Structures are given as structure tokens and as C-alpha cells.
Amino acid sequence: MKAAVIVFPGSNCDHDIYIPLKKMLNIPTEFVWHKATDLGSFGIIVLPGGFSYGDYLRCGAIARFSPVMKEVVTRARRGAKIIGICNGFQILTESGLLPGALLKNSNQKFVCRTVHLRVENNRTIFTHKCAEKEILRIPIAHGEGNYYCDPGTLEELKNREQIVFRYSNENGETGLMSNPNGSIDNIAGIINREGNILGMMPHPERRSDEILGHDDGLKILGSMVESFARN
């Protein structure tokens, strides 16, 4: 079992995710430059946060055409476990691996703070270590985290239980006051139909050790790693 952390020009959370995977979850983890064309030995693929290509045009719009993304798409179709965090989520939607799009925050400002997430589906390979409706405390740091999709897609996401996380308050209540960016239906993270790809705006790697103030994020990363080990 090996994990690849894809590094694009402008990635800045690559080391953040590398450390919990390799040092805390003991998974052989390697950085992979965006020009790579072969990911055959990796079962877990991480698209980290940051500002790939300076976020020119749209966040993730240029990274979507990096050579490695053709292989990421191929590996996704073969069932590789893929997680896109923040900018990685944006790249996944731009690549068509997840539905919808990430728009500018509704307040038109960069938002950086810790938020509460309600686990909507704890039966996924990324959340099975979480309790049903558990409230996690995970940081966000983005200017374009406003998730949007058309009404038909939203209904499908609900029906197929593809909404994995929603922004909430500490009591698990969702609504305008607990929504930091304007995301439709307070959506903070979704999976694809097959369940092997997760995109989320919050940063679980930044809450992966008690020394960081909390280790809620390790439940997400640990779920992914444990699921891979079972296969």
C-alpha cells in the first residue's frame, strides 16, 4: 500500500498531508510531481490544498490539464482511493471526477478559521471511523469554497447519499449562520457515485494530532487508510 501526494506548481499543503500519512498512519508516502504520467504503484492518491498555478483563470482550471491528471482519471476509474482537499476538491470538479463547481465565497473574502462539520454519511471508506452525525472540528482556508450544483444534481447527491459533510454549528444545526462560504445546502464534502473519490474543502490534515489542538481529521484519513488495507 502506497500513497501519492500530487504536487502542482503552487501546492502548499503537500507536506501537511504527507506527515500524517507517513509518520502517523505509517503509510509509505511519496511526493509525485505533476508532470508524472504513471501512478501504477499507488493505491491512494491525494490532491492537496494550495494555489495550483496561482489560481489563474479559476481554481484548479489549469491543474486539470497537468500530465498527471490523465493518469489520475484512469486510476479513478480503476477504483483507486482519491481524496482532494481544498484546491484538490476544486481540481476534482474541474476534471469531472466530482459533480458541481466551487465558486467564490459568498462574502467575496478569503476565510480562514476552524469550523464544525456534521458527518452526513459514515458508511463511506473515508468516514467509517466517524459516528453517525458526529460533529468534527476542522479548519478551512479558502477564497473559492462555495460549492454549487444544479437542482437536479443536488437531488441526486441527496438520494445517493453522496453528501458526506455539511457545515454546522457545534450542536449539528445547519443553516446560514453556520455556512462559512455560501455553499448550497451547507455542503462541505461529497463523494462520487462509486464511493472511491472524496472532495472536501476543510483540511483534515491540519487536525491530525493533538499537538495541533485536535485530531478529528485523523478519523477521515485513518478511515481511508484502513479501508485500503482491508482490500
Q: What is the pLDDT of residues 76-122, one digit of tens each?
A: 999 999 999 999 999 999 999 999 999 999 999 999 999 999 999 99
If you compute the radius of gyration of the chain from its CA atoms, what whole number of angstroms results? 16
Identify whether 86 is a catalytic site residue: yes
Pick the catalytic residue from 71, 120, 144, 205: 205
pLDDT of residue 229: 66
Q: How many CB atoms lie within 10 A of CB 160?
A: 14
pLDDT for 231: 60
pLDDT at 89: 98
Mapped onto helix, strand or coil, the DSSP state of residue 100 is coil
Whole-angstrom Cα distance, residue 176 to residue 184? 10
CATH number at residue 58: 3.40.50.880
Domains: count for the chain: 1
Task: Tell me whether strands 197-200 and 187-191 are parallel, antiparallel or unpaired.
Answer: antiparallel
Phi-psi region of 182 (alpha: psi -120 to 50; beta: other; left: phi over 0): left
pLDDT of residue 97: 98
Whether residue 203 lies in the annotated active site: yes
Q: Among residues 13, 59, 86, 149, which one is catalytic?
A: 86
- Would you state the pLDDT for residue 211? 85
Q: Could you list the residue range(s) of the whole structural domain that residue 193 is in? A: 3-230
**Which residues have C-beta within 8 Å of that of residue 74, sequence separation ≥ 6?**
none
**pTM of this structure:** 0.96
Residue 1: predicted pLDDT: 78
Cell of 220: 477521515
Nearest to 117, CA basis, from 132, 105, 135, 129: 135
Q: Which amino acid is at 180?
A: P
For the chain, list residues with pLDDT below 50.
Answer: none
Question: What pLDDT does 178 receive?
Answer: 97
